[in-house]
Copies of this chain bind each other. A is one copy, B any other.
Amino acid sequence: MQKHILVIPGDGIGPEVTTWGKAVLEKIAANFGHEFTFDEALMGHAGIEAIGNPLPDETLEKAKASDAILFGAIGHIKYDNDPSAKVRPEQGLLKIRKELGLYANLRPIMLFDELLDASSLKPEILKGTDILFFRELTGDVYFGEKKRSEDRNTASDLMIYSRYEVERIAIKAYEAAMLRGKKLCSVDKANVLESSRLWREVVQDIAKQYPEVETEHMFIDNAAMQLVKNPKKFDVVLTANLFGDILTDEASQIAGSMGMLASASIGDGTGFFEPIHGSAHDIAGQDKANPLASILSVALMLEISFGLKDEAKAITDAIDKTLKDGYRTGDIADANTDKTKILGTKAMGQKVLS
């Protein structure tokens, strides 16, 4: 198979972790006889630094011309503490999601048995958890009109959804539920929000086409609670952009660490694969970042964009073995970890490769 992959390292620990995602892709190509070609492009703070644009035109062109995109992370502390900055790294990520029509963000909560103890949740609560989140990614209050009054004393964002936006992601989520446990939980705040009431109406309509799937509607506050109380009860979770952002970060604690979670953004064209962790500037450049989420993002790419299931499995197996052998990065180590087996980014990447 011939594929062209664009790597966008981005900010913070992004470059460190995508290095290993790319290395794994090269190894897979060699072992399975594929031909993967690569290009690289700038986004986020890196784009602002280089040419003053968080999403350079060149990056967008390269993105559209590629078969899949491997992305690192975005954001910089400098902008976080300056709420009045006009140009922000995150604009690059939001714009590329919109431009590529990446309306569905899939976030599987995978649980490696070896990491059961790394979580703050009790192992018996976690064991058996297997959740697939469908987060809507190109609508909601993220993209609704933003306003600031002239005196700068009032600010607003429009939380808005249209029927077709909810329909297309609901269909993807139901299709996935049919291939899994046939349970779907749609999360909204329909007791307060009009946009959530539309969301619920549409999901109720789509649900009729999937009578085999058991549908539940849950308010976001309750969902945030249930996810900690009893994560096993969830199978597919379908939700809006903002609620999905919050719930999936929360759910990362189920997998032991954000450093273990990958995501796939899909839609009209090229797929986009990234860890769910952020740019983590506090540890950037220190060889401390966990490269496993980036490597797992590559597994998602192979499976979802290229249909290469065996290749994807080879990767998760390699990670499984590395963890079984006792190797950990700092974020997933616990009191029982053999101190000599706590690895940096590079050493962990090497272990998985070998």
Please state if B195 and A157 are interface contacts (CB–CB under 8 Å): yes
Q: List B contacts of A120 (CB < 8 A).
A: 121-122, 125, 228-230
- Chain B nearest Cβ from A35, distance in angstroms: 38
A residues 248-306 touching B (CB-CB < 8 Å): 248-250, 252-253, 258, 278
A residues 223-247 touching B (CB-CB < 8 Å): 224-225, 227-230, 242, 245-247
Please state if A194 and B157 are interface contacts (CB–CB under 8 Å): yes
The complex places the Cα of A79 from the Cα of B219 at a distance, in Å, of 13
Q: List B contacts of A112 (CB < 8 A).
A: none
Question: How many residues belonging to A are interface residues under a CB distance threshold of 8 Å?
Answer: 67
Of the candidate stretches A21-29, A80-88, A168-176, A338-346, the one touching chain B is A80-88
Q: List B contacts of A328 (CB < 8 A).
A: none
The complex places the Cα of A144 from the Cα of B90 at a distance, in Å, of 25
- Chain B nearest Cβ from A232, distance in angstroms: 11
Nearest B residue (CB) for A245: B221
The complex places the Cα of A196 from the Cα of B136 at a distance, in Å, of 21
Please state if B230 and A249 are interface contacts (CB–CB under 8 Å): no
User: What would 4 more interface pairs be, CB under 8 Å, given A121-B121, A156-B195, A224-B246?
Assistant: A153-B163, A155-B194, A220-B245, A222-B278
Please state if B158 and A198 are interface contacts (CB–CB under 8 Å): no
